[in-house]
A and B are shown apart, each in its own frame.
Chain A
């Protein structure tokens, strides 16, 4: 290796650090979740369990924190709700799944590079490479990575539930980390089909299990690199921008109009999430 090579490599490395994140995306799968439409019915979560063969851990293990729900519905109450007539009612829902960050904190910390960034804009998790150090989960600000604390073989699904297991899904045994993949198996099928038919993937050609199951169509899924996709238009409408878009170095909404509802969770951490949420609009309590 010549000295020139070395210095070139070094400057590429330096620039890579300064620009941060991943570039040259083929696709950038993203979401827009409309909290105005979300009714907290958990259909997305259920669909995710069915699609991705997630283990149902049972009440006891769930309460110990051994849950495996890649998609979860979080409930938040306003402070003045406690004084209301029905304090348990009127929750705000937040469907939370892996945000597939553009600059993901989970990726650099994995000692064996079991989690990495794909040219599709996904944080891929290679189960077979994972040794279970759980560093990624510790460094995930959204806490959306789930660890296989126990073994869930096929027999863990009592018959006839074992018949609904999805054959397209990789098996995970105890000791590995797993998380939402944006239904990568569906992405693969769509890409392969498009390639065979020698065309580009059409917007809305396929969607994730959660988006498919949502009764109020609160979840929109699509390619953020496709200027014509519904998701891109939603992002643009709410002036939420990806970091690599227009070379924005820091997390800036560039939102001119504060009435716009789009935001990304914990954006100040510079993680560049691929999921945009649309704030819920509520009437003022008299």
Chain B
């Protein structure tokens, strides 16, 4: 801890030995702190609750969680939430990769894993919410005996294509980016792990040719993923924007959804950052300087989100659609008003804590804030769905519905499912990119040597410590 405070302005210490990086990160596969196991147990409990709720719903019918005007409610809200969460992994690993932001290097691996696993969680919801979930595969365009295709005009079937494409590509991207690290893991483990990593590392031995091909493939995937990520959430937003319902039929939905997605994803990265840093004692790698950078990014996105919110309100307010206006007014003053105003508070006011340096560097505060930001974003998704369903065109069907225990159970279960997938991943695979951290350290070292040389030439002050470290490990 003392060490990090000493170098608090640096993203990473430039005198880290490469072998030390290897051993520090590989340690995460062996001995996490006890808190890790407590979290695993918590996730198992949540998952058990979720499975119980799902079994009940499957056996007795959707009536356990839905009613007439509220045909979607929590499930689709949580679906959007998880899809949204997946976007920041791509932001960190692909967008920041092509703009050469070095500070992403220690944290992008787990962010990319978060993308993959939150997509896998999100995929559960459209299936769970089906009345006849055993027929979910009818949405997939295969040629069945009956010769019927899915309806290509329906945004729900676009969802299927978009999410499956995104899931495949982001899982592939995660895997490609991990190849050199899997080779390090292969060289440093025994037993079943050795077998696993030997297979997965695809015979990587780090030749120049392999590196060249690897860099190209990685860059190609990064470029491919960026438009994909943006389009996925735009398509999810068209589930609503393409309908005719007041409050859903909104032109600004695609950018609004994408910004909300990046927002909740960044907040989730802060949460997971703090957790991993604690579980695996990674204070050296996940430094406060990097935390500060994600927090700043989150703050910027929060402001974009707030702006788009205001644009939406203003355009509904000044538009002459009485139905849309009434839904907006009902959101602000009706039965869902407490939820709506909590969403506005968590989403637009709370992020101002990220504007203060002291708070940004205070771990417990950031943990709380990042979780509350995500609570706000979850409420936002709920507030997109329920008010419109509760007060649409037809006054006869106006009805306020609060979610039932069954639907809450399934929502909680999804957090358990995501948590388990994620925790299993970080225990089996190196969740900090070793080769890229080395790269980063190397870049820092070059920069500081250059600065030193300049200082020497101009006769400036002596540096605080000498840099005698050299390349020690070739992998």
Contacts and interface: CB of A to CB of B under 8 A. Distances in A.
Given A138-B72, A148-B61, 11 more contacts: A65-B399, A66-B63, A109-B153, A111-B156, A113-B148, A131-B135, A131-B136, A133-B126, A138-B71, A149-B62, A150-B63
14 contacts: A66-B67, A96-B396, A110-B154, A113-B148, A129-B138, A131-B138, A133-B126, A138-B243, A138-B389, A147-B62, A151-B61, A174-B62, A175-B131, A269-B244
A134 B139 CA distance: 14
B198 interface: no
A176 B131 CA distance: 6
A61 interface: yes
A147 B68 contact: yes
Interface string A138-159: 1101110011111100000000
B392 interface: yes
A139 B244 contact: yes
Interface of B: 60-63, 66-72, 126, 129-133, 135-136, 138-139, 148-151, 153-157, 160, 239, 242-245, 389, 392-394, 396-397, 399, 401
Contacts of B150: 111-113
A110 B394 contact: no
B357 to A, nearest CB: 46
A180 to B, nearest CB: 15
Given A135-B156, A138-B243, A113 B151 contact: yes
A237 B29 CA distance: 81
A194 interface: no
Contact of B394 (A65, A134, A141): A141
A112 B130 CA distance: 12
Given A113-B149, A141-B393, A146-B68, A105 B154 contact: no
A149 B61 contact: yes
A65 B68 contact: yes
A137 interface: yes
A108 B396 contact: no
A130 interface: yes
Contact of B62 (A61, A105, A146, A175): A175
Contacts of B399: 65
A196 B394 CA distance: 43
A139 B70 contact: no
B131 A134 contact: yes
A147 B243 contact: no
B131 to A, nearest CB: 2
Contacts of B130: 131-133, 175
A143 B70 CA distance: 11
A64 interface: yes
A105 B244 contact: yes
A131 B150 CA distance: 11
Contact of A111 (B72, B151, B389, B392): B151
B392 A143 contact: yes
A148 B396 contact: no
A113 B147 CA distance: 12
A74 B396 CA distance: 7
A105 B70 CA distance: 17
A220 B211 CA distance: 77
Contacts of B133: 131-132
Instruction: Rank and list the top 9 A-B pairs by shortest CB-CB distance, nearest first.
Output: A132-B131, A175-B131, A65-B67, A149-B63, A65-B68, A134-B71, A111-B156, A113-B151, A143-B397
A150 B61 contact: yes
B404 to A, nearest CB: 9
Nearest to A66: B63
